[in-house]
Chains A and B, each alone.
Chain A
Amino acid sequence: EVQLVESGGGLVQPGGSLRLSCEASGFTLSTYWMGWVRQAPGKGLEWVANINPHGSEEYYVDSVKGRFTISRDNAKNSLHLQLNSLRVEDTAVYYCARVDPYNTGWFDFWGQGTLVTVSS
């Protein structure tokens, strides 16, 4: 059974940093693109970042470029998102998601999400 379990969320002040993690199980992580999608309270879904199976290609939404970094450790079955220079508008539930087996860009499995709150 495919499972994605996020951790690392919490309350942080504006300008602060946080590192989110996603532990993957039930499939071979090293063969899949992976991504992060976020959802601000009461709002819609926003794609944040994707990374290729080997970690050599990364893509980001413009609003987080230069502040967030996606990475992976296939040996430890884990995906990460480093959040720096956090802003109030980064407050959201952050979902880890697996890109489809055809590597075209839709998400076939999602974690339960971890809440990041940026507030003073």
Chain B
Amino acid sequence: DIQMTQSPSTLSASVGDRVTITCRASQSISTWLAWYQQKPGKAPKVLMYKASNLESGVPSRFSGSGSGTEFTLTISSLQPDDFATYYCQQYNSYSLTFGGGTKVEIK
């Protein structure tokens, strides 16, 4: 199975900061990668798919990049609503896997 490793596991930041989260795959997954945001007690919500495609309704301050084994999710200017946990997910194969998550906390 393809392993997904996210870093950092926790990130402390302030409103207005530029934030970058990294996701690494154990083997090449082309651009078959999605990013999700999850708030406590809620279901995940998709932000990006195919590494860099913004899902409808998601603010443009979110962006994604990467291909192969290394990917990033960037929030250009962190807003109060963005404090949450973020997960990457690969869908290169029928056996889907998620990263361990990155919690974005208030500094």
A residues whose Cβ falls under 8 Å from a Cβ of B: 35, 37, 44-47, 50, 59, 61-62, 95, 100, 104-108, 110-113
A42 to chain B, nearest CB (A): 10
Contact B32 A105 (CB under 8 A): yes
Residue B106, interface by CB 8 Å = no
Interface residues of B in 44-95 (CB under 8 A from A): 44-46, 49-50, 55, 87, 89, 91, 94-95
- Number of A-B residue pairs, CB cutoff 8 Å, is 58
A97 to chain B, nearest CB (A): 8
Contact A44 B96 (CB under 8 A): no
Q: How far is the CA of A106 from the CA of B96 in the complex (A)?
A: 9
Contact A106 B1 (CB under 8 A): no
Contact A44 B98 (CB under 8 A): yes
Q: How many residues of B contact A (CB 8 A)?
A: 24
Interface residues of B in 26-54 (CB under 8 A from A): 32, 34, 36, 38, 42-46, 49-50
Give the chain A neighbours of B87 by CB distance below 8 A. 44-45
Q: How far is the CA of A105 from the CA of B38 in the complex (A)?
A: 18
Q: How far is the CA of A110 from the CA of B98 in the complex (A)?
A: 15
Contact B91 A104 (CB under 8 A): yes
Contact B43 A112 (CB under 8 A): yes
Q: How far is the CA of A113 from the CA of B39 in the complex (A)?
A: 13
- Given A61-B95, A104-B32, A105-B91, A44 contacting B46 (CB threshold 8 A): no
Give the chain A neighbours of B99 by CB distance below 8 A. 44
Give the chain A neighbours of B100 by CB distance below 8 A. 44
Contact A100 B94 (CB under 8 A): no
- Supplied contacts A37-B98, A105-B94, 8 more A-B pairs, CB within 8 Å: A37-B44, A46-B98, A104-B91, A106-B49, A107-B34, A107-B44, A107-B46, A112-B43
